Structure 1
Amino acid sequence: MSSVTDFLLNRASEPRLEAPAPSISALDRAFACAARAPDHALLRPWRYLVIAGDDLKALGDLFAAAYSDNIDDAKREKMHKKAMRAPMVIVGIASPKKHPKVPEVEQVLSAGASLSFLALALQDAGYGVMWRTGGMAYNPVVLQGFGLEKGESIIGFLYTGTVSSAKPAVPRPELSEFVAHWPIK
């Protein structure tokens, strides 16, 4: 097996992240990798927002504003802490284009592959990542706060930084649990 395969077999999400965040050069290289995702008709149906430093406080404010109707101080603090889980949050956005031969679902899958390539490239550069979604990815206040256009959607919040402590290995499924050979007999 190649070093790429070995890398993939050892990939893990890392929830405990601290500064430093990826450098500009590591980030640029990772975004160059993200742009290599499979992309029928070269539509580039994705875009990204990078949030770091003091802007994470504004992200926490946006998360809190998403629940402004029924939020107390404890919930507001919890929303702010979600934004501070890492020194950098990258918002992956699916941005499908109208195309006669490329359906929207293919474009969303391409955006997901792009975010996955980004995560893998950041991990290869020595950073930890945690791909999260949750209610914030679908909340209209958050979507508006990020300036999403009609038809766009958040495919994930990629938290990234330096791993502060590795989590225990996660058991992986047996191949027979999700692979079959067709025709099935």
Structure 2
Amino acid sequence: MDALTALHNRVSTGKLIEPAPNERQRQNIFRAALRAADHAGLRPWRFLLVEGQERNRLGEIFLRAAEQAEAVPQTEAQRQRTLAMPLRAPLIIVAITRLQEHPKVPYLEQHMSTAGAVQAMLTAAYAEGVGVYWRTGPLASNPVVAEGLGLAENERIDGFIYCGTPEKAPRPAPDLQPDDFFSHWGAQ
């Protein structure tokens, strides 16, 4: 698939099943991340791969985090749903920004660089026929999750990228028109 076709047609795929991306697909997806815009060459991103039984351990971390964050104890159904969250895909990529003090590159820009790396991975995955979706939510900013994943003090989770084989063909991309979003500044 050529780059413009992937960029114009990429969509998230919610229902993911085995198998996870193979090694060739992974390398193409990972290499795409490394081309993200990166002011001052800080390379503020790093990624953790969670698969197999590690997904159950991540579910336990999610449950501890949710239980500590909630004022009301979770019901058994909520507990089981939280434990199963990482089982929604055969591979989860945790996107992490390593925040670095820099006189010209604020923290926000470092997060944006990680977001650019994630977007590049999503597009590369689409081109490879791999289903993916990007999740954030309260667990991404929960200190129990950060500690459970072994993040350093200067690291922040920017999302969980769920990867696998699409259960069904991806839906068509919405027909958005550039003129609805782009205009000349002076024409307002």
Q: TM-score, normalised by structure 1?
A: 0.91
Asked if 2 retains the 8 angstrom alpha-carbon contact of 1:37 and 1:114, the reply is: yes
State the alpha-carbon separation in 2 of the partners of residues 47 and 152 from structure 1: 9
Distance 1:56 1:86 in 2: 9
Instruction: For 1:179, give the aligned amino acid.
Output: F
Aligned to 1:93: 96
3-state SS of 2:19 partner: coil
> Is the Cα contact below 8 Å between 2:18 and 2:90 reproduced in 1?
yes
CA-atom RMSD, angstroms? Answer: 1.8
Bigger shift: residues 126-135 or 2-11: 2-11
Deviation at 1:37, TM superposition (A): 0.8
Percent pairwise identity: 38
- Quote the residue 1:176 is aligned against: 179
Determine the structure 2 residue equivalent to 1:106.
109
Instruction: Please name the residue that 2:74 is paired with.
Output: 71
Counterpart in the other structure of 2:39: 40
- Matched positions, count: 184
Deviation at 1:167, TM superposition (A): 4.9
Q: Does 1:83 align with 2:82?
A: no
Match of 2:151 in 1: 148
Q: Distance in 1 between matches of 2:148 and 2:119?
A: 24
SS at match of 1:66: helix
Question: Per the alignment, do residues 96 and 172 of structure 1 end up closer, same or farther by CA in structure 2, a change over 3 Å counting?
Answer: farther
User: Kindly tell me: are residues 108 and 164 of structure 1, through their superposed partners in 2, closer, same or farther at Cα, counting changes over 3 Å?
Assistant: same
Deviation of 1:184 after TM superposition, in Å, equals 3.2
Which sits farther off after the overlay, 83-92 or 140-149? Answer: 140-149
- Give the Cα separation in 2 of the matches to 1:125 and 1:175: 26
Tell me which moved more, 83-92 or 170-179. 170-179
Distance 2:176 2:29 in 1: 29
Query: Which residue number in structure 2 is paired with residue 125 of structure 1?
Result: 128
